[in-house]
């Protein structure tokens, strides 16, 4: 088990005043060795924690002067200090099995760890969950958790997970709900496998066995060109429409019996079925926004000026723990919010704007942007086909630098190009390329409607030479090599 290593210290924080430095290893806290960042947070939450710090080749004791409950102000390098609990399922639809070789090693890690579910919203199948895990979740109040259900029929679930424990592991879901833990579920719907009558059986099973479930999301499987599973195929338009119809039928049943809709279909289903999205109110606060549920309506509301929609769809989906490293959707999308490279002297601020998006973004953004201009210039969409993954992958968040670069090569050099930050993690695309690898400079904009509108209405020329306090929206401009 490795010790947590400090990667940043907040200015003027208790850790800063105690002399904690970047690179310090926290060997023990009040004589206890934390297994993960959750325990780390509990230990340093106490008043005046005593840290055994390894600094280079020596160990020193540091007492951090702070009140109980006050943040210490140090971020550590990883969420887990012991081994991550890897997934022992072999699902046909698992996207990690569909990744090509040569990508970053971290992308191939297939976890099934309830701690990462609590920290980052990762979905767990509970096939490796134990009595000790249940005791810890309940004792420490690790809520909410996110559980992959896929099917409530034990035999079908075991078949889909390719793991006999899949037939019985939902007993832990029942135990979690009995203990008052908030749980959000997910059903990855695979055509010909767990759709149709099987999906109806699953929704009936949720009502019968797990009515305390906070939400359940029905999402389509993502299928890349690297999949080797012959039984896996994309939904047809009719199959997508059938999923939408079934979900909406069961929403009425849940509303009647429980007073809430509980189950929701992913935005992708409405796009595949060529159906209008439900009204924003039908998503009941967008509790599974980051899972693709209600993103379009939330974006539309935020673009229209609803600042609450822009803020609220993210809050509460992932539990936040002081000191936890930013990973997944919490990872920084860009390294520096200040402009770095701008247009040359005499450049026209009133120039056409192109919004880079995945192919699914076109039917969502098109109606919203109809007739809209950016600081007096015309706005167009620049859809990018996902050649890298292929298959039915058309969401913006899975665009790679190579595909974005290819789409930009034939575009005018003088236009403004806006790139949603969801394409990046710590400033890199999934294929490892960076913004400097693109043929034209781009502006990275946070992936919500309000930020996009502000970016469109801002004068890009006013950003150059300005201090950070004068930048109205977090945009980073980067030049090509």
* pLDDT tens, position by position, 235-284: 999 999 999 999 999 999 999 999 999 999 999 999 999 999 999 999 99
Lowest average pLDDT, out of 118-127, 253-262, 422-431, goes to: 422-431
**What percent of the chain stands above pLDDT 70?**
85
312 vs 379, which has greater pLDDT?
A: 379
Helices first, then strands: H and E counts in the chain: 14, 15
Ranges 107-111, 174-178, 414-418, 462-466, most confident: 174-178
pLDDT at 376: 61
**Mean pLDDT of the 338-342 span:** 38
pLDDT tier, 112 (very low <50, low <70, confident <90, very high otherwise):
confident
Cα distance between residue 324 and residue 38, in whole Å: 8
- Whether 214 shows a pLDDT value over 60: the answer reads yes
CA distances from 345 to 374, 470, 478 (A): 21, 21, 17
29 phi/psi in degrees, rounded to 5: -130, 115
Q: Is 302 helix (H, G, I), strand (E, B) or coil?
A: helix
Lowest average pLDDT, out of 141-155, 184-198, 353-367, 449-463, goes to: 449-463
CA distances from 248 to 235, 241, 269, 277, 341 (A): 18, 11, 12, 12, 49
Ranges 89-93, 121-125, 382-386, 455-459, most confident: 382-386
pLDDT tier, 472 (very low <50, low <70, confident <90, very high otherwise):
very low
Strands (E), 261-335: 263-265
Give me the chain's average pLDDT, please.
Answer: 86
pLDDT at 351: 80
**Mean pLDDT of the 197-222 span:** 97
- Whether 326 shows a pLDDT value over 70: the answer reads no
**Mean pLDDT of the 89-101 span:** 86
238 vs 110, which has greater pLDDT?
A: 238
**Mean pLDDT of the 199-224 span:** 96
Q: Is 421 helix (H, G, I), strand (E, B) or coil?
A: helix
pLDDT at 466: 34
pLDDT at 462: 40
pLDDT at 477: 34
**Mean pLDDT of the 185-208 span:** 97
| Contact indicator for 294, 267 with CB cutoff of 8 Å | yes
Residue closest to 352 by CA, chosen among 367, 369, 365, 339: 369
- Residue by residue, DSSP assigns 65-117 as ---TT----EEES-SBSS---B-----TT-SGGGPPTTS-GGGG--B--HHHH
pTM (two decimals): 0.86
Helix H, strand E, coil C: the string for 169-225 is CCHHHHHHHHCCCCEEEEEEECCCCCCCHHHHHHHHHHHHHCCCCCEEEEEECCCCC
314 vs 278, which has greater pLDDT?
A: 278
CA distances from 373 to 320, 401, 420, 421, 457 (A): 38, 27, 18, 21, 8
Ordered by where they begin, the domains of the chain are: 6-76 (2.30.42.10), 96-328 (3.20.20), 332-478 (no CATH)
Exposure string for 276-306, b = 16+ CB within 10 A, e = fewer: ebbebeebeebbbbbbbbbbbbbbbbbbeeb
Cα distance between residue 283 and residue 460, in whole Å: 35
338 vs 259, which has greater pLDDT?
A: 259
Per DSSP bridges, beta strands 50-55 and 58-63 are antiparallel
pLDDT at 211: 97
- Whether 340 shows a pLDDT value over 60: the answer reads no
pLDDT at 316: 46
Lowest average pLDDT, out of 242-246, 254-258, 310-314, 335-339, goes to: 335-339
Cα distance between residue 297 and residue 289, in whole Å: 10
């Amino acid at each position: 088990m490795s010790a947590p290593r400090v990667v940043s210290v907040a200015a003027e924080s208790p850790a800063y005043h105690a002399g904690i430095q970047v690179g310090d290893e926290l060997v023990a806290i009040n004589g206890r060795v934390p297994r993960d960042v959750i325990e780390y947070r509990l230990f340093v939450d106490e008043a005046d924690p005593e840290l055994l710090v390894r600094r280079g080749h020596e160990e020193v004791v540091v007492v951090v002067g702070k009140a109980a409950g006050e943040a210490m102000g140090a971020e550590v390098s990883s969420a887990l200090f012991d081994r991550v609990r890897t997934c022992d399922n072999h699902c046909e639809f698992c996207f990690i099995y569909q990744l090509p070789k040569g990508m970053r090693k971290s992308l191939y890690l297939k976890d099934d760890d309830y701690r990462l579910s609590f920290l980052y919203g990762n979905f767990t199948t509970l096939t490796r969950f134990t009595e000790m895990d249940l005791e810890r979740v309940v004792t420490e109040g690790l809520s909410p958790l996110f559980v992959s259900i896929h099917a409530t029929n034990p035999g079908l679930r075991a078949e889909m997970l390719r793991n006999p424990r899949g037939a019985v592991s939902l007993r832990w879901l029942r135990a979690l709900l009995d203990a008052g833990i908030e749980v959000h579920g997910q059903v990855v719907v695979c055509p010909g496998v767990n759709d149709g009558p099987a999906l109806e059986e699953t929704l009936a099973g949720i009502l019968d066995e797990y009515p305390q479930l906070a939400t359940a999301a029905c999402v389509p499987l993502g299928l890349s060109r690297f999949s080797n599973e012959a039984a896996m195929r994309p939904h047809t338009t009719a199959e997508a429409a059938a999923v939408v119809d079934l979900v909406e039928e069961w929403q009425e049943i849940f509303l009647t019996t429980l007073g809430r809709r509980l189950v929701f279909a992913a935005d992708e289903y409405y796009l595949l079925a060529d159906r209008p999205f439900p009204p924003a109110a039908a998503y009941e606060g967008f509790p599974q926004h980051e899972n693709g549920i209600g993103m379009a309506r939330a974006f539309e509301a935020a673009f229209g000026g609803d600042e609450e929609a822009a803020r609220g769809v993210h809050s509460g989906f992932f539990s936040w723990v002081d000191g936890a490293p930013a990973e997944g959707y919490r990872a920084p999308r860009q390294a520096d919010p200040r402009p770095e490279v701008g247009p040359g002297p005499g450049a026209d601020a009133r120039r056409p704007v192109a919004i880079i998006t995945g192919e699914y973004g076109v039917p969502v953004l098109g109606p919203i942007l109809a007739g809209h201009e950016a600081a007096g210039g015309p706005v167009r969409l620049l859809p990018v086909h996902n050649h890298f993954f292929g298959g039915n992958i058309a969401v913006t968040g899975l665009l790679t630098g190579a595909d974005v670069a290819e789409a930009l090569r034939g575009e005018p050099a003088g236009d403004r190009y806006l790139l949603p930050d969801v394409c990046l993690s710590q400033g890199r695309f999934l294929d490892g390329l960076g913004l400097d690898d693109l043929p034209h400079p781009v502006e990275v904009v946070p992936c919500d409607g309000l930020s996009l509108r502000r970016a469109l209405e801002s004068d890009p020329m006013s950003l150059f030479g300005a201090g950070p306090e004068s930048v109205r929206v977090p945009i980073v401009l980067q030049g090509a090599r």
